[in-house]
Structure 1
Amino acid sequence: MFRFFRSTENQRLIARLLRESFHAHRFGYAAAILSMLVVAATTAASAYMLREITNEFVVYKRIEQVNLIAAATGAIFILKGFANFIQAYFMSRVGNAIIADRQRKIYDSILAQGIEFYHSTSSSELISRMTNNAQAARSVLDQIVTSYVRDLVTLAALVGVMVWQQPALSLICLVIGPIAIYGVNRILKRVRKIASQEFRSLGQIVQVMQETAIGVRVVKSFGLEGAMRKRMYKAVSDVESRANNIATLEAATSPVMETLAGLAIAGAVFVSGFLVLGGGGQMPGNIMAFIAALLLAYEPAKRLARVRISLETGIVGVRMMFQLADRPLTLAEKPDAKPLRAGPGEIHFDNVSFAYPESAPVFEGLDLTLAAGKMTALVGPSGSGKSTILNLIMRMYDPQVGRVMFDGQDISCATLTSVREKIAYVSQDTFLFAGTIMHNIRLGREGATDEEVMAAARAANAHDFISAQAKGYDTDVGENGALLSGGQRQRISIARAMLRNAEILLLDEATSALDAESEALFRDALQQLTVGRTTIVIAHRLSTVHQADTIVVLEAGKVVESGAHRTLLNQGGLYQKLYEYQLMP
């Protein structure tokens, strides 16, 4: 165990874990540690009492002393039982609190990251870290407290009894102990690597399960059950194999300890017999107390010998937890960030150059102004930069060069909250949260009344189909809206954006899942919603952008045309070609 702590990295991780978790729960730990000390003292006292019991029964035969010893022995074990309860109670409560605290902090760390982090980190890995890493933190702290307090103090107290009663016999343990520790350390070399691999395999199980649940239609329609089953079986087998390897290493410590402990006890019995029966002049009670202490010392000694395996396994999860906590934010507020001032809602791209990680530039020197209070439509071929403009407006990314300005204010110098509060967003990839329809729409503006929610639903042409549901607005949408059709999900997300009533409205293919009739009704609602509001619309179906005040045509990250619908058609440029492509039978 002490060799484990000689690692500088392990020392740093343990010190940080103690600093962040132990101090916050110091009163619970203090109660548990005090109880452990009582358990250690009563365990040693119970071994010592055998000296008095044996001597009074065999040598002195004083019945009144035997009664006192019986009463004292009963009191010792009652106190020990009560202390064990207090220890278990507080260790459980503190452990559960640590798991909850760590899970909150892990989630906060994940939530603070930018979009780039989520693109580079699988959701299965995040879920695995959320569950396993928090458990690992508790496990490591529990091991440290129980090993250093209960087991170590108990062992020290019992060795004290042994040395007091039989100093010579105690030398046997001092010889056997280092041999046992050496044997266990030889077994532990492979534990850390296996534990790291097991964490990764657990993540694979979560990933396959997620893909099965989310992509079940594709799995079923393409007959991919066999392929998914093969992946899941492999991941499960990998976890099973690595868990078996760790279990084998843990189990291997028991024969070592059992053999060496058996040799120590056998040697002690042999020497004890000679000292008592061979005329050595030793009282039988002293020998009994020594042997009892030796036998009782076996379990804490075995746990101490094996604790390094648990620490090596747990420290992997602690290391991964702190790696996530220490990961630099891909998008962070500046220390002196200030809320955006109110304004009409003009958006200006000032010489913006931007590229996604490890990708070619999307924009180089882009200058673009989106008029305040007007509707601007962004059209162009796939990959021309339309969605990237929305990402930069929402500050999901910061440009490498240049500035994105809201009413003359650089949004990279503003608080993220003030930027996001100005924006309502509807994407083509509709996402609904678990809960009811009412809950999902109300997320657009917390505190909105039922009447305001229903008004937003009417504006989005969603009220009629919602009212037709068995439970109306209290209808559960299922996982990501699985119980609703694509068009219904889209209209709920549009209602959510309408309820937000933000200064800037971003619509990224917001009508992609609507049929022609619903789209026409939505355009009527949109005409009312966008009055006096800066609206940016992305649409591949050009029939949805006729009413835009300005249409910006993008190609390869550059603005190639800009103007009203009729003006662009008359220019005979890219917009006219895109329009004609959609009219072709």
Structure 2
Amino acid sequence: MLDNFISRTNKTLVARLLSENFKKQAPWYGIAIVSMLVVAAMTSASAWIMRDIVNETVVSRDLNRVFMIAIAVAAIFAVKGIATYVQTVFLSRAGNNIIAETQKKLFRSVLGQSIGFYSKFASSELLMRITNNAQAARNVMDLIVTSFVRDLFSLLGLIAVMVIQQPWLSLISAVIGPAAIFGVRRLSKKVRKIMEQEMVSLGAIIRNVQETSSGIKVVKAFNLEDFMGARMDRHVEEVEARSNAIAKLEAASSPIMETLSGFAIAAVVALSGVWVLEKGNTPGELMSFITALLLAYEPAKRLARVRISLESGLVGVRLMYELLDHPVDLTERPDARDLVAGPGEIRFHDVDFGYREGQGLFRKLNITFPAGKTTALVGPSGGGKSSIINLVMRLYDPESGSVTIDGQDLKSATFRSLRERMSYVGQDTFLFSGSIRHNIALGREGATDEEIIAAAKAANAHDFIMALPGGYDCDTGENGGNLSGGQKQRIAIARAMLRDAEILILDEATSALDSDSEAQIRDALARLTTGRTTITIAHRLSTVTTAHNVVVMENGAVAERGELGRLLSHDGPFKRLYELQLLPGKESFEGAAE
């Protein structure tokens, strides 16, 4: 019978959904199922008692019996009402818990993925899968429980009443089921294809809203309102058209049931006269049969449409499991150990690495970042500076070779112990929604207000924070939208200072600061880097003057390395970069002189 409601390709999906959710929600589903069985029984009883109502009021005319039957009818509907309430409450409780647990599980799965995962899935798609698809899981579970308990048992009970009261008329009505199922099966395949396309369009709508919100300055500056509006109109119209197509297909099951039911009921009415007038059957038996037949119509119609609804809902469930089952590229070894504290020397030994197969960036790369010293990475874009940082933070693993801290291979270390030894300030400063206090406090769990304020003062951020409405409780806005670039960066530096880690990574940490702000923060960075292993990416060579060592990266290889003074003392890649950036007119001047 399951084949009539679920396609073979979806059986495994449904089995997994039930196994992962039904057992955990068993108490709530158990109460809901018992309530549904009571509803089904009371529905059948309401049809059965019609025989006594008609016979006692029309044939026997026994007033006492009529009063007893009236009390029974009231009791039947009261019990049915209470059972329906209990069913709804506990089914909702189970469904809401499924949504909550699924969203938690999906988000944890996304958090555990590597950086490369986020280049494959747009944020709009992740948002849709975590929200809409969790709801789809709940809807499918509700549909399965209600269809195969309440509707199925209601239908079986009513069929039993029909067979007992009028067995021959029941046979005539039995032609509805097979014909309806055959018609609905043809509709379900079309629904699944359209639903998959609708999911894509919904993701496009979310993506369009996100891009407009994040890039509103560009939208305004380039007069792109009409373009963005037209693109949104197109996506919304696609969803509307597909929603209408799904509604049309789902609605098509009703005419099938209506037509077939009409033929069956018409035949029953025609034959009932023969049975009552010529065969001697009581009017009560006939009334009970017709009542059961009419009551059976709604659960039968819902069961006939259950395959269409399942096919539609399982599209979201399938997308949900695709996300949950996505392989994690970067995992922690089962025997991973915490990094042992040490001076903080970082070493690359014969490292091979590339973001795409067959497109290697590093080949046998060897670099040492001395403990307690500041090393500046410079060079043209694409040279591999950011990739070195990604490997040090273990956002990626090398294809071969090793990256070690104090001789300990990062692949053998726990993620938590590795990240606890590092502070990071990026070029594209990111702030979380919430207050300034909250953003700085994320640097170290359990930090006191005094420590937060001390970190802000060390980053020369305290004065401008106190000038803001609310001070440290001022809301930063979405990704720090209420603050200037320099303010955001100083808060990020305060967060790194609060962490007080042994290893510090600066990705052009002063890039968003004007000259005055940069001057304010240089002494703060000098204090922060003292005694720490610091790796700083420097696009502006004026920021490397305090570095102990400079490494010039070109095309994934070390072009030059050494102390700043030594690199400037002879003609090499660093000196040419230095002169090109700080003395941009030098080459033109020399050419004119010649």
TM-score range relative to shorter protein: over 0.9
1:318 is paired with a residue whose SS is helix
2:270 alignment partner in structure 1: 270
1:502 is paired with a residue whose SS is coil
Tell whether the 8 Å contact from 1:427 to 1:507 is kept in structure 2 after alignment.
yes
**Mean Cα deviation higher: 221-230 or 346-355:** 221-230
2:505 is paired with a residue whose SS is strand
| 1:359 CA displacement | 6.7
CA distance in 1, matches of 2:40, 2:265: 21
* Residue 372 (structure 1) aligned with residue 371 (structure 2): yes
| 1:188 CA displacement | 2.2
2:85 alignment partner in structure 1: 85
AA of the residue aligned to 1:480? N
Deviations 1:423-458 (A, max 9, x none): 100110011000011100111112111111111111
2:305 alignment partner in structure 1: 306
Tell whether the 8 Å contact from 2:4 to 2:181 is kept in structure 1 after alignment.
no
| 1:470 CA displacement | 1.7
| 1:189 CA displacement | 2.5
2:480 alignment partner in structure 1: 481
CA distance in 2, matches of 1:583, 1:87: 75
1:231 alignment partner in structure 2: 231
1:409 alignment partner in structure 2: 408
User: Between Structure 1 and Structure 2, how many residues are aligned?
Assistant: 584
CA distance in 1, matches of 2:339, 2:387: 22
2:332 is paired with a residue whose SS is coil
CA distance in 2, matches of 1:358, 1:487: 38
CA distance in 1, matches of 2:382, 2:134: 41
CA distance in 2, matches of 1:187, 1:16: 25
Once the two structures are superposed, the pairs formed by residues 285-300 of structure 1 within 5 Å of their partners are 285-300=284-299
* Residue 188 (structure 1) aligned with residue 219 (structure 2): no
2:443 alignment partner in structure 1: 444
AA of the residue aligned to 1:130? I
| 1:521 CA displacement | 2.2
1:155 alignment partner in structure 2: 155
* Residue 539 (structure 1) aligned with residue 538 (structure 2): yes
1:382 is paired with a residue whose SS is coil
CA distance in 2, matches of 1:124, 1:196: 16
CA distance in 2, matches of 1:414, 1:446: 21
| 1:357 CA displacement | 2.2
Unaligned runs of 5+ in 1: none
* Residue 250 (structure 1) aligned with residue 250 (structure 2): yes
CA distance in 2, matches of 1:344, 1:397: 23
2:552 is paired with a residue whose SS is strand
CA distance in 1, matches of 2:271, 2:8: 44
- The percent of aligned pairs where both chains have the same amino acid is 60
1:501 alignment partner in structure 2: 500
Once the two structures are superposed, the pairs formed by residues 31-42 of structure 1 within 5 Å of their partners are 31-42=31-42
Tell whether the 8 Å contact from 1:4 to 1:10 is kept in structure 2 after alignment.
no
1:363 alignment partner in structure 2: 362
2:569 is paired with a residue whose SS is helix
Distance 1:400 1:322, change over 3 A: same
Once the two structures are superposed, the pairs formed by residues 488-567 of structure 1 within 5 Å of their partners are 488-567=487-566
2:141 alignment partner in structure 1: 141
* Residue 338 (structure 1) aligned with residue 341 (structure 2): no
Tell whether the 8 Å contact from 1:5 to 1:11 is kept in structure 2 after alignment.
no
| 1:178 CA displacement | 1.1
1:13 alignment partner in structure 2: 13
| 1:136 CA displacement | 0.7
**Mean Cα deviation higher: 338-347 or 175-184:** 175-184
1:47 alignment partner in structure 2: 47
**Mean Cα deviation higher: 495-504 or 358-367:** 358-367
Deviations 1:172-195 (A, max 9, x none): 111222112212222223111111
CA distance in 2, matches of 1:267, 1:528: 94
CA distance in 2, matches of 1:180, 1:389: 64
Tell whether the 8 Å contact from 1:36 to 1:84 is kept in structure 2 after alignment.
yes
CA distance in 2, matches of 1:21, 1:572: 68
2:588 alignment partner in structure 1: none
| 1:489 CA displacement | 0.6
Deviations 1:356-400 (A, max 9, x none): 125722110001100001111111111111111000000000001
CA distance in 2, matches of 1:337, 1:252: 58
1:88 is paired with a residue whose SS is helix
| 1:7 CA displacement | 3.8
CA distance in 2, matches of 1:400, 1:465: 46
| 1:523 CA displacement | 1.5
CA distance in 2, matches of 1:452, 1:4: 66
Once the two structures are superposed, the pairs formed by residues 414-433 of structure 1 within 5 Å of their partners are 414-433=413-432
CA distance in 2, matches of 1:215, 1:4: 50
Tell whether the 8 Å contact from 1:36 to 1:149 is kept in structure 2 after alignment.
yes
| 1:563 CA displacement | 1.4
| 1:16 CA displacement | 1.0
**Coordinate RMSD, CA, aligned:** 1.1
Tell whether the 8 Å contact from 1:456 to 1:496 is kept in structure 2 after alignment.
yes
Q: TM-score, normalised by structure 1?
A: 0.98
CA distance in 2, matches of 1:441, 1:556: 36
Once the two structures are superposed, the pairs formed by residues 201-216 of structure 1 within 5 Å of their partners are 201-216=201-216
AA of the residue aligned to 1:419? L
CA distance in 2, matches of 1:123, 1:380: 31
| 1:2 CA displacement | 3.2
Deviations 1:243-284 (A, max 9, x none): 11110001111111111111111111111112112x211000
| 1:15 CA displacement | 1.2
Tell whether the 8 Å contact from 2:6 to 2:307 is kept in structure 1 after alignment.
no
AA of the residue aligned to 2:180? A
| 1:92 CA displacement | 0.8
2:22 is paired with a residue whose SS is helix
CA distance in 2, matches of 1:200, 1:495: 41
AA of the residue aligned to 1:360? Q
| 1:338 CA displacement | 1.0
Q: TM-score, normalised by structure 2?
A: 0.97
Tell whether the 8 Å contact from 1:347 to 1:372 is kept in structure 2 after alignment.
yes
Unaligned runs of 5+ in 2: 586-594
| 1:9 CA displacement | 3.3
1:425 is paired with a residue whose SS is strand
